Amino acid sequence: MIDCDFPGGNILVEGIEGNTVRVRQDLRDTRGDWFYWYFRVRGAAGCTLTFEFTQSNVIGVRGPAVSTDGGQTWCWLGSDAVRGSSFRYTFPADADEVRFGLAMPYVQAHLDAFLRQHEGNPALRRDVLCRTPKGREVELLHVGRLDGKAPHKALLTCRHHCCEMMASYALEGILTTILSDTEDGQWLREHVEFLVVPFVDKDGVEDGDQGKNRFPRDHNRDYGPDSLYPTTRAIKELVPRWAEGRLRFTLDLHCPWIRGEYNEHIYFVGSENQENWQHVLGFARLLEQIQTGPLPYRVDGNLPFGQRWNTAANYHQGMSCARWAAGLPGIWAAMSIEIPYANVLGAPVTPESARLFGQDLARTMRRWLDAQDGREQP
């Protein structure tokens, strides 16, 4: 039995011929092609099956992610199991269920588990930003100094494109550092109030949508004057009021395309606002200097405005979160970062390595903000 009837699931089965299963990703309201999929197989213990994607090649550079414990833990199957747009898998003899995904899923249950680990922490408050069109609550986290006297404020957002799950593990790493007993965590809790929206497209995360290039536009093109989505409207209404002139930076976390040279390294997305971009580059250079985690970051891998897909034409559907944030009063840097799904300059992306990169980001935030104290802006 093959299905996707669980949070984040996505697959369409086109047919089964012998030991070959023909499948394709369910695009739903995404215009054009995209690559997200996540399904499970039950009742195949001891069998060897080939899964062939019929619409396009949507298998990443390390093959599919595989879980044999109901999605609790994951590993990469590896590229040796892949032939073009197909992969082959031999099911363990005792496997009641095996799950396969484009990458390693992160849904509501993962966020809830993370928040339970920090329940009762006075530096973390969980609120509701709004409700989605399907009635789900959108989490709004207040993290850090929460007495209203923080000299710095920062906005962190994730999953504008709901399929970009590896970015959520990096966000966990940021939050872990802020809430830790380390010197960096203590400094951040003393000096910064973070406003965090972990799932901007909450319905898409739970329903297993692509989320990218939705019709008529996706969440990260919805920051113009006529926002379609409750979450983007709520962010636009809340943040300027909450910031009180102390908003230092925003960071929007994403994942890029699934393969190719430019999609296998971490990069910041350049802004046409050159003053903003220079401030982002200052942050980026500091990140390159102090990083200690297994996922390498190189400043020369950034994507300046006007190169490849990062042109004005890419934003014809509407305004992105980073573009909107760059216009907020007094902001120092509005940043958007892309974290690959599977491979960063040869290093594997996993939940743990992505979390460690998030910790690198948090340590950079501390040093970058510390260096700006006493200045109007970087």
pLDDT digits 0-9 by tens, 163-186: 999 999 999 999 999 999 999 999
> pLDDT averaged over the chain?
96
Has residue 377 got a pLDDT over 60?
Answer: no
Full DSSP string of 163-220: T-THHHHHHHHHHHHHTSSSHHHHHHHHHEEEEEES-TTHHHHHHT---TTBSS--GG
Average pLDDT over residues 92-115: 97
Full DSSP string of 321-349: HHHHHTTSTT-SEEEEEE--SSEETTEEP
Has residue 376 got a pLDDT over 60?
Answer: no
Q: d(Cα 34, Cα 37) in Å, to the nearest integer?
A: 10
User: Tell me, what's the pLDDT at 375?
Assistant: 55
Confidence of residue 262 (pLDDT cuts 50, 70, 90): confident
pLDDT tens by residue, 263-316? 999 999 999 999 999 999 999 999 999 999 999 999 999 999 999 999 999 999
Percent of the chain with pLDDT over 90: 97
Has residue 40 got a pLDDT over 70?
Answer: yes
Average pLDDT over residues 70-85: 97
Average pLDDT over residues 16-45: 97
pLDDT tens by residue, 172-225? 999 999 999 999 999 999 999 999 999 999 999 999 999 999 999 999 999 999
**Which residue type occupies 119?**
E
Average pLDDT over residues 373-377: 55
Domains of the chain plus CATH, in order, are 2-101 (2.60.40.3120), 108-372 (3.40.630.10)
